[in-house]
Amino acid sequence: MEAILSKAAGLALMIFAGFGLKRLGVFRQEDAKVLSRVVVNLTLPAALIGSFRVFRFDPRFLTLAVIAAASNLAMVLAGLWRSRGQSPDTRALYALNASSYNIGCFVLPFTQSFLPPEALIGVSMFDAGNCPFNSGLTYALVSPRTGKETVRLSFVLGRLVRSVPFMTYLSLMLLSVLDITLPDFVYQTASTIGGANTFLAMLMIGILFDIRVNREDRRQLVEILALRYGGSLLMCVLVWLLPLPLLFRQVAVLAMLAPIPSVTMVYCEKCGCAPSLYGVANSLSLAISLCLTFPLLLLL
């Protein structure tokens, strides 16, 4: 317990450092975009490669991809149902912000710090089911309702192919199935680079943290976030009751309490949603996920 609390305190300090340095003017909000690119395209793929040194493919990991896809679809439908009778852009706002999970920049750093190395693969498999929704599938489902452009399958596939983490663990999974191992120096170098992933991701979260809520937006923000986290907690309970290995259930529960991914704001803008709503919803979800994740790690 003492070790877990120590790690949790360390991660919290990293987040506070990012937030404090932003308030002091050392960092700007825009700097988080640079850190995000470093995390997503360099340190996160390296952490995945390092974790594959002792990994052996287990078909049961595919269960996590199915859980991710099912939970995303359920939350999209829940968002559309809750906003029925409202304007098309409001329905898109609810559906887009109720679904999708920020796995790479939120869940993976916590997993890397608190769970065994093979848990990184489990989180990656969850993201395999989550990634299509993050990459445009949710937008494809809701955009026709707003009268905006429709999204073709090629758009979604194109975003997946350009996703460095997705292609990294897809390639590593193929190597594992074929029982091909990489040279030791590759794993060693990747582990060194990947070791910076947690710090950079937590620093980025601190820089992004910003909550300014307009009084007129509060009701809708509360509804959206209550729908997202109420539904997620319900699905967490259902998954926990499934006859799955403990590690799989731990990974799924942590992943389903992740905040709204930043790419959701891009799709909200395309659907004509109010920026004052989706921008604050993104920051508030980050705060809520942090408040849920730290005690959850103690329980798990």
Please tell me the predicted confidence (pLDDT) of residue 206. Answer: 78
Least confident range of 77-91, 110-124, 173-187, 265-279: 265-279
Angstrom CA distances, 23 to 16, 30, 33, 182, 285, stand at: 10, 13, 17, 44, 20
The Cα–Cα gap between 290 and 257 comes to 9
Please answer whether residues 281 and 228 qualify as being in contact, where contact means their C-beta atoms are separated by less than 8 angstroms.
Answer: no
Instruction: Return the sign of the alpha-carbon dihedral for residues 81, 84, 90, 92.
Output: positive
Polymer length in residues for the chain? 300
Please indicate whether residue 165 or residue 130 has the higher confidence score (pLDDT). 130
Please answer whether residues 149 and 143 qualify as being in contact, where contact means their C-beta atoms are separated by less than 8 angstroms.
Answer: yes
Q: Is the pLDDT of residue 102 over 60?
A: yes
Please tell me the predicted confidence (pLDDT) of residue 216. Answer: 67
- Confidence category of residue 72, pLDDT binned at 50, 70, 90: very high
Task: Provide mean pLDDT across the span 212-233.
Answer: 84
Please tell me the predicted confidence (pLDDT) of residue 61. Answer: 79
Query: Domain tally for the chain?
Result: 1
Q: Is the pLDDT of residue 50 over 60?
A: yes
Q: Is the pLDDT of residue 199 over 90?
A: no
Q: Of 112, 120, 111, whose CA–CA distance to 54 is shortest?
A: 120
**Averaged pLDDT score across all residues of the chain:** 80
The Cα–Cα gap between 225 and 260 comes to 10
Please tell me the predicted confidence (pLDDT) of residue 232. Answer: 92
- Confidence category of residue 100, pLDDT binned at 50, 70, 90: confident
Would you list the DSSP string of 200-260? Answer: HHHHHHHHH------GGGHHHHHHHHHHHHHHHHHHHHHHHTSS--HHHHHHHHHHHT---
Task: Provide mean pLDDT across the span 101-109.
Answer: 80
Please tell me the predicted confidence (pLDDT) of residue 152. Answer: 64
**CATH number of 55's domain:** 1.20.1530.20
Range of the domain at 126: 2-299
Within 13 Å, how many C-alpha atoms sit on residue 98's CB side?
29
Please tell me the predicted confidence (pLDDT) of residue 75. Answer: 92
* 144: helix, strand or coil: helix
- Within 10 angstroms of residue 24's Cβ, the number of other Cβ atoms is 8
Q: What are phi and psi of 99, to 5 degrees?
A: -115, 175
Please indicate whether residue 260 or residue 238 has the higher confidence score (pLDDT). 238
Least confident range of 33-37, 149-153, 156-160, 203-207: 149-153
Q: Is the pLDDT of residue 211 over 70?
A: no
Q: Is the pLDDT of residue 236 over 80?
A: yes
Task: Provide mean pLDDT across the span 273-285.
Answer: 75
- Identity of the amino acid at 212: R
Q: Is the pLDDT of residue 1 over 60?
A: no
- SS3 assignment for 75-101: HHHHHHHHCCCCCHHHHHHHHHHHCCC
pTM: 0.74
Q: Is the pLDDT of residue 34 over 90?
A: no
Helices 88-98 and 138-146: crossing angle in degrees, nearest 10, is 170
Please answer whether residues 92 and 143 qualify as being in contact, where contact means their C-beta atoms are separated by less than 8 angstroms.
Answer: yes
Please tell me the predicted confidence (pLDDT) of residue 287. Answer: 80
| Residue pLDDT, tens place only, 18-30 | 888 888 888 887 7
- Identity of the amino acid at 183: P
